[in-house]
Amino acid sequence: MTTVTAKELKEHSADVIGRVRYGNERVGITHRGKMVAVVVSLEDAHLLEELEDVLDIHDALQAIEEADRIGTVSLDALREKLGH
């Protein structure tokens, strides 16, 4: 992945966008020597969102399995336990 500084991005944003859009590059943005962001194509952003959705579904299924295995607690019981 190539990188540019935040200042370079400000001065050459059209070039960076072109590299991402037409060159299928991912461009890292640095600020004070640290990577702070990445400019990615819309396609990459959509793929990332899809991946996050899959991971969320996986986590939800695990939580359901755990609830089936060890049971659940009602909200009222939890409030009583916590003293609320």
What span, in angstroms and rounded, lies between the C-alpha atoms of 21 and 42?
8
State phi, psi for 27 to the nearest 5 degrees.
-115, 120
How far is 24 from 26, CA to CA, in rounded Å? Answer: 7
CB 20 within 8 A of CB 26: yes
- Predicted local distance difference test score (pLDDT) of residue 84: 81
What pTM does this model have?
Answer: 0.70
- Which string of DSSP letters, residue by residue, matches 40-81? --HHHHHHHHHHHHHHHHHHHHHHHHHHHHH----HHHHHHH
User: Per-residue pLDDT tens for 11-59?
Assistant: 999 999 999 999 999 999 999 999 999 999 999 999 999 999 999 999 9
